[in-house]
Structure 1
């Protein structure tokens, strides 16, 4: 499994807008991508801004390309996200998931 990690920053006044965009439009798009295995959006205060870290999981790099295109390291930042964010990483990272621990009792 591949973990795709990306970061974007928003002002405190537009952070909820970005989170809503991710939870609706991004989630809807990702769920249609073959090989999509889940995602987490992390949020924390970073000085005067809010830092979002998106970690999406795909079965393979071919599935990542189905989402991101032929340059899989290029960030996919839709216009609605660009309106809510002040800046973002233009490039993403990909890592193989070495260990995935299920929750206790699962």
Structure 2
């Protein structure tokens, strides 16, 4: 999980960057299992929370490098965001509740 903040004027730029560039990069990583980009207003800014799913920490390292808790940000993201978490957090899925079909 990782968080970054954008102004309301650049929030769409970051969302598009995530949808195109980040998605393309992640799609090349063996062990990548999906991602979600959440957003919400946060004062005068928009807070983005990125949640990515990988099969193993080795898959995370394939994306982020050996220091896999260091946030990976391309120049396009840096231009759209005002600030961000320098470090990411990793968690194991403890429980995954399926959607009820009833």
TM-score, L = length of structure 1: 0.93
Between the two structures, name the one with larger relative contact order (CA 8 Å, sep ≥ 6): 1
Q: Write the distance in 1 (CA, Å) between the matches of 2:29 and 2:74.
A: 16
CA distance in 1, matches of 2:86, 2:98: 32
User: Where does residue 6 of structure 1 map in the other structure?
Assistant: 2
Structure 1 unaligned spans of 5+: none
- Number of paired residues? 101
- Alignment partner, residue 64 of structure 1: 60
How do residues 1-106 of structure 1 correspond to structure 2 at under 5 angstroms? 5-105=1-101
Q: Distance in 2 between matches of 1:19 and 1:103?
A: 26
**Structure (1 or 2) with the greater strand fraction:** 1
Hey, which bits of structure 1, 4+ residues long, moved more than 3 A? none
RMSD value over aligned CA atoms? Answer: 0.6
Calculate the TM-score normalised by the size of structure 2. 0.97
Any stretches of 5+ residues in structure 2 without a counterpart? none
| Superposition deviation, residue 102 in structure 1 | 2.2
Between the aligned partners of 2:49 and 2:93, the Cα distance in structure 1 is 17
